[in-house]
């Protein structure tokens, strides 16, 4: 593969270390989708609740009839529209379409987005097409049954589509539109904003500029179509109010703010949370840039995505669909590595799959038949319930289970830092002039590790 000076060179892999994936992958994906289709057939109303899709539809109705009430309207206590005004335009379209058509179209396109995202990740990692197809199928078969993906599909969320927008943009080969996908995704859901400073810190200035311009265009379009709602969202600070969706310590919020709220027994002061977020965000972005420099593009993307999930005020369980690209990266590490590192990489992939798996038969909420992740072993209060919250009273294993996604994300970030520093130290010992991290990066990552 010819190196591009603007992109770290990725050594192409033939996938010789996982030939069984090439043979078993398509069969595994067919079985996985077949089982999901069977589950839909047997438990249609339990598996597909489409509660969030219903919020989109109703928000579209409000945007059409009373747009100035878009951010004061509540579908039920604690359930409000929490997307920028630009996204409300899509909700208007949804409100005009037949419900069944919308629900099934979103379901099918989301499953396709999952598979395409894995395909693009492996392409960015340098996999040849012959081996890429079977491995994409195998990883997608497993990723379909992680809880964040199942929750996205069952509630009618758009996380898989937005993830594809970001990855497709990052995996692009340049051009004048390179960056539009990141900016548009951020204009629909603010969690994608983390990729703009990532592009800046990795010196992808043109793409970052296009992303900023695209995001600004979504803000301008939203203000043009919904001026009163835009004032409420941007100028009156509705976008800063994390509690708009209810209790920020609710179990499903697997973010740093959710963790600190549950541990403190209260929502922490804004200054405390902002300071923690700034430190974690800066460290994570520096780590993502350094990982990109040494490990390749896609490695940096997943570190950036995990950083965004950690520092976002609200990272619902379905936001963690980025674990699917993480599984692709871990598979790539296992194939490329040798000896003990290969065993560790496969073990890490298995660990992540188990932690985030959608386990059937776990406790149900409200009689709804859904697959739930291990985080739901901890008791949870509904996000809009008043004074007393079950999350404030967790002990022992409840604390571990109830924060498991966030803790696993932090472990993955810590492991990336350890591998990065150990490889840099080993290369420096062999040849001080070869393969070294710039001194500033090495010092910053070393300081981050010592503080951790």
- Looking up tokens 């067919």, which residue turns up? 30
pTM above 0.95, yes or no: no
Regions of the chain where pLDDT drops below 50? 1-11, 14-17, 363-370, 435, 439-440, 443, 447-448, 450-452
Q: Enter the tokens of residue 349.
A: 């992939």
pLDDT computed for residue 375 by the predictor: 92
Residue closest to 87 by CA, chosen among 59, 52, 54? 59
Bridge partner residues of 357 (DSSP)? 146
The DSSP call for residue 367 is T
8 A C-beta contact, residue 63 and residue 92:
yes
pLDDT computed for residue 8 by the predictor: 43
- The string of DSSP letters for 202-232 reads TT-HHHHHHHHHHHHHHHHHHHHH-HHHHII
pLDDT computed for residue 419 by the predictor: 87
- Looking up tokens 């509904």, which residue turns up? 382
8 A C-beta contact, residue 233 and residue 85:
yes
pLDDT computed for residue 372 by the predictor: 75
Angstrom CA distances, 421 to 78, 116, 202, 349, 448, stand at 44, 32, 18, 21, 11
pLDDT computed for residue 411 by the predictor: 97
Angstrom CA distances, 12 to 123, 126, 170, 383, 422, stand at 9, 4, 18, 47, 24
- Looking up tokens 């490889």, which residue turns up? 423
What is the domain partition of the chain in residue ranges? 17-451
Instruction: Give residue 213's Cα distance to chain centre.
Output: 23
Residue closest to 109 by CA, chosen among 157, 63, 166? 157
CB atoms within 10 A of CB 347: 12
Distance CA 360, CA 188 (A): 32
Residue closest to 155 by CA, chosen among 367, 306, 319? 319
């Amino acid at each position: 593969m010819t190196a591009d000076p603007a992109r770290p060179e990725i050594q192409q892999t033939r996938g010789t270390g996982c030939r069984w994936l090439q043979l078993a992958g398509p069969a595994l994906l067919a079985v996985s989708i077949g089982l999901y289709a069977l589950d839909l057939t047997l438990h249609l109303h339990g598996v597909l609740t489409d509660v969030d899709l219903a919020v989109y539809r109703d928000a579209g109705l409000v945007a059409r009839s009373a747009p100035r009430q878009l951010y004061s309207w509540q579908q039920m206590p604690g359930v409000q529209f929490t997307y920028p005004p630009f996204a409300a335009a899509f909700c208007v379209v949804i409100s005009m379409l037949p419900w069944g058509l919308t629900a099934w179209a979103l379901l099918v396109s989301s499953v396709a987005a999952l598979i395409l995202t894995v395909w693009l990740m492996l392409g960015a990692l340098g996999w040849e097409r012959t081996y890429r197809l079977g491995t994409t199928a195998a990883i997608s078969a497993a990723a379909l049954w992680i809880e964040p993906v199942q929750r996205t599909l069952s509630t009618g969320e758009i996380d898989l589509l937005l993830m594809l927008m970001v990855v497709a943009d990052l995996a692009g080969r340049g051009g004048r539109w390179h960056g539009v996908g990141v900016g548009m995704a951020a204009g629909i859901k603010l969690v994608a904003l983390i990729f703009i400073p990532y592009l800046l810190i990795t010196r992808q200035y043109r793409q970052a500029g296009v992303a900023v311009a695209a995001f600004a265009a979504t803000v301008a379009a939203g203000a043009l179509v919904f001026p009163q709602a835009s004032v409420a969202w941007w100028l009156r600070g509705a976008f800063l109010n994390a509690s708009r969706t209810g209790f920020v310590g609710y179990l499903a919020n697997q973010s740093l703010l959710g963790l600190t709220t549950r541990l403190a027994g209260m929502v922490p002061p804004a200054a405390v949370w902002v300071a923690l977020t700034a430190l974690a965000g800066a460290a994570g972005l520096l780590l993502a840039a350094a990982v990109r420099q040494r490990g390749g593009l896609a490695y940096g993307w997943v570190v950036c995505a995990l950083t965004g999930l950690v520092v976002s005020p609200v990272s619902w369980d379905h936001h963690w669909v980025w674990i699917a690209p993480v599984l692709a990266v871990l598979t790539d590490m296992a194939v490329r590595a040798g000896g003990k590192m290969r065993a560790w990489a496969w073990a890490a992939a298995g660990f992540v799959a188990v932690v985030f798996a959608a386990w059937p038969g776990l406790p149900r909420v409200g009689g709804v038949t859904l697959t739930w992740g291990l985080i739901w072993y901890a008791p949870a209060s509904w996000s809009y319930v008043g004074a007393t919250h079950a999350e404030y009273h967790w002990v022992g294993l409840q604390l571990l289970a109830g924060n498991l996604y966030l803790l696993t994300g932090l472990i993955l970030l810590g492991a990336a830092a350890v591998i990065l520093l150990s490889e840099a130290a080993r290369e420096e010992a062999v040849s001080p002039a070869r393969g070294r991290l710039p001194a500033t990066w090495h010092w910053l990552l070393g300081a981050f590790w010592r503080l951790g």
